[in-house]
Amino acid sequence: MNLEFNHKSNYFLGAQLVIRHIQDKLFREKTDHLSFSLQEFKNLFQNDMASASVNLDGILHLASKYVVETITGDVALINHYDIHSNEHTTTIFLNQSAVNALVDDAHPLIPPDASNYE
């Protein structure tokens, strides 16, 4: 019996969903870090448990490549992130200058170039 997998994770779509979720939260409350539960990621990825667990590091890695235009140049929105597997949470630490440019100055988010990744 030969099984073929028809589902391939789309890391760029996942990263886009994460970034838009972060952006929505920042427009509600400006902060330098955000915490997300596994359930919140699961809901964000429409109950795709693989994206919310095993593939999460790859998705967050791509999300960390999004930059915001600032006066001093392009700055990554995500400074770093910590996945706490025992607590089923993830903490995302943000660059304050990028948050200010995004929220206060309405500067655009610039996505990573998908043609540079395999």
Q: Is the pLDDT of residue 95 over 80?
A: yes
3-class SS letters over 6-59: CCCCCHHHHHHHHHHHHHHHHHHCCCCEEEEEHHHHHHHCCCCHHHHCCCHHHH
Q: How confident is the model at residue 3 (pLDDT cuts 50, 70, 90)?
A: very low
DSSP 87: T
Task: Match 């919310």 to its residue by tokens.
Answer: 52
pLDDT digits 0-9 by tens, 24-65? 999 999 999 999 999 999 999 998 888 888 899 999 999 999
Question: Is 63 a member of any domain?
Answer: yes
Rounded to whole angstroms, the Cα distance separating 46 from 63 reads 18
Q: How confident is the model at residue 9 (pLDDT cuts 50, 70, 90)?
A: low
What is residue 92's three-state secondary structure? Answer: strand
Question: Is 3 a member of any domain?
Answer: no
Q: 24-28, 75-79, 114-118 — which is least confidently predicted?
A: 114-118
Number of domains in the chain: 1
Report the CATH number that the domain containing residue 111 is assigned in CATH: 1.10.10.10
Per-residue model confidence (pLDDT) at position 114: 80
Question: Is 42 a member of any domain?
Answer: yes
Q: 40-44, 107-111, 114-118 — which is least confidently predicted?
A: 114-118
Q: Is the pLDDT of residue 6 over 50?
A: no
Question: Is 1 a member of any domain?
Answer: no
Range of the domain at 87: 11-116
Per-residue model confidence (pLDDT) at position 53: 85
Q: 99 and 28 in contact (C-beta within 8 Å)?
A: no
Q: Is the pLDDT of residue 8 over 70?
A: no
- CA distances to 35, 63, 75, 105 from 71, rounded to whole Å, are 28, 22, 10, 10
